[in-house]
C-alpha cells in the first residue's frame, strides 16, 4: 500500500495519476483539510505538518510515501522517512518542464510557500542551467479549486491576473506548481493558449514511483477484497467527499474516514 498526502483536494490529481499508472497497488490518501491551506504558512509549520502526516501514514503500514503537495515537497529534503522511501513532486515536475521547454523560458504558478522556498529555481538550475524561471505566487487559486469553481468567469479572471505577467515574459512552458491547479485546467488553458505547455505533477511523480516499484517488485501486491482506495480527512465535509469523487472519476473511493492525527 502507498501512502499519499496533501493539505486537501489537490493531491487527488496526483492520486488519480498514481492509480492509472499502478492499477495493482492499494492507496491510502490523507487530506489534511482541518489545516488547509499549507501554502500560506511558514516553512517551519509546513515541515511540522509534513512530519506528522508522514508519521501517521507510516503507522498504517504503507510501503512508500508520496508527498502530493508542492508546498510540503518544497520543504522536505530527504529521500526517506524512518526507512520508507519518500517521493516528492518538485524534481519530477521540473524534469518534465525542462524536457518540454523549447525556448528555455519557464513559468511557475505556485503557492507563496513554494515560490518563497526557491525549490523550483534550484531544481531547474541543476537540470539545465540555461533555463530561466519566472515565478508568480497565486494564493487565491487554492480556495477556488477547493470550492469547485472550475468553469466560472471569476476563476478565468484570477487565472488571467496571475498568468499574465508570466505570459508577458514569453514563457512556452508553465509549471502548475500546486497540485490544486490542475483542477482549474480549463481556465488555465483558456488564458494561456495552446502554445504554452502546462506541466502537472501527477504523471511525472507516478512515472518515478512506477520505475521504483519495477525495481522492487515485492512491493506490488495483487488486489484482494480489502479496500483499494481509502481517503482519510482531518475534517469532515460532505462537499469534500462529493467534489473529491468527481475529481477522481471514473476511479471510485472504496472507503472514507475521518481521522485525528494526534
Ligand atoms: N496542493 C498544495 C500544493 O501543491 C497546497 C495547497 C495549500 O494547502 O495551500 O502546494
Give 41-90 pLDDT, tens digit per residue.
999 999 999 999 999 999 999 999 999 999 999 999 999 999 999 999 99
0.75 surpassed by pTM: yes
Tell me the pLDDT of the chain averaged across its residues. 95
**Which of 67, 138, 178, 204 is the catalytic position?**
178
Whether 240 shows a pLDDT value over 70: the answer reads yes
Minimum mean pLDDT among 34-38, 144-148, 222-226, 240-244: which range? 222-226
Q: Which of 111, 136, 139, 140 should be mutated for ligand 1, with most atoms under 8 A from CB?
A: 111
Helices (H), the chain: 12-21, 43-59, 70-73, 90-100, 112-117, 119-127, 141-147, 153-167, 185-192, 202-215, 238-248
Residue 222's pLDDT is what?
Answer: 57
Among 64, 68, 69, 109, the active-site one is: 69
- Mean pLDDT, residues 21-37: 96
Cell of 188: 488555465
**178 is a catalytic site residue:** yes
Q: Residue 227 has what pLDDT?
A: 73
- The verdict on whether 192 is a catalytic residue reads no
The model's confidence at residue 218, banded by pLDDT at 50, 70 and 90, is: confident
Q: What are phi and psi of 123, to 5 degrees?
A: -65, -45
CA of 181 to the centre of ligand 1 (A): 9
Q: Is the pLDDT of residue 141 over 60?
A: yes
Query: Which of 20-34, 146-160, 182-196, 224-238 has the lowest average pLDDT?
Result: 224-238
DSSP per residue, 136-151: EE-TTHHHHHHHT--S
- Our mutation pick for probing the ligand 1 site, out of 30, 47, 71, counting the most ligand atoms within 8 A of Cβ, is 71
Amino acid at each position: 500500500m502507498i501512502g499519499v498526502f496533501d493539505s486537501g483536494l489537490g493531491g487527488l490529481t496526483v492520486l488519480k495519476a498514481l492509480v492509472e499508472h499502478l492499477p495493482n497497488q492499494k492507496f491510502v490518501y490523507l487530506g489534511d483539510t482541518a489545516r488547509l491551506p499549507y501554502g500560506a504558512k511558514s516553512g517551519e509549520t509546513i515541515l511540522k505538518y509534513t512530519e506528522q502526516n508522514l508519521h501517521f501514514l507510516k503507522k498504517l503500514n504503507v510501503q512508500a510515501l508520496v508527498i502530493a503537495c508542492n508546498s510540503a515537497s518544497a520543504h522536505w529534503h530527504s529521500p526517506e522517512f524512518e526507512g520508507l522511501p519518500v517521493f516528492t513532486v518538485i524534481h519530477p515536475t521540473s524534469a518534465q518542464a525542462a524536457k518540454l521547454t523549447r525556448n528555455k523560458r519557464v513559468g511557475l504558478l505556485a503557492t507563496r510557500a513554494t515560490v518563497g522556498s526557491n525549490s523550483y529555481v534550484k531544481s531547474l538550475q541543476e537540470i539545465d542551467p540555461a533555463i530561466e524561471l519566472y515565478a508568480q505566487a497565486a494564493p487565491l487559486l487554492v480556495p477556488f479549486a477547493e470550492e469547485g469553481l472550475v468553469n466560472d468567469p471569476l476563476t478565468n479572471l484570477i487565472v488571467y491576473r496571475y498568468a499574465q505577467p508570466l505570459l508577458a515574459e514569453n514563457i512556452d512552458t508553465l509549471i502548475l506548481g500546486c497540485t490544486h491547479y490542475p483542477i482549474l485546467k480549463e481556465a488555465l488553458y483558456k488564458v494561456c493558449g495552446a502554445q504554452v505547455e502546462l506541466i502537472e505533477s501527477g504523471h511525472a511523480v507516478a512515472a518515478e514511483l512506477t520505475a521504483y516499484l519495477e525495481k522492487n517488485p515485492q512491493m506490488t501486491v495483487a488486489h484482494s477484497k480489502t479496500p483499494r482506495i481509502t481517503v482519510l480527512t482531518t475534517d469532515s465535509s460532505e462537499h469534500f467527499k462529493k467534489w473529491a469523487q468527481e475529481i477522481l472519476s471514473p476511479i471510485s473511493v472504496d472507503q472514507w474516514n475521518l481521522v485525528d492525527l494526534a
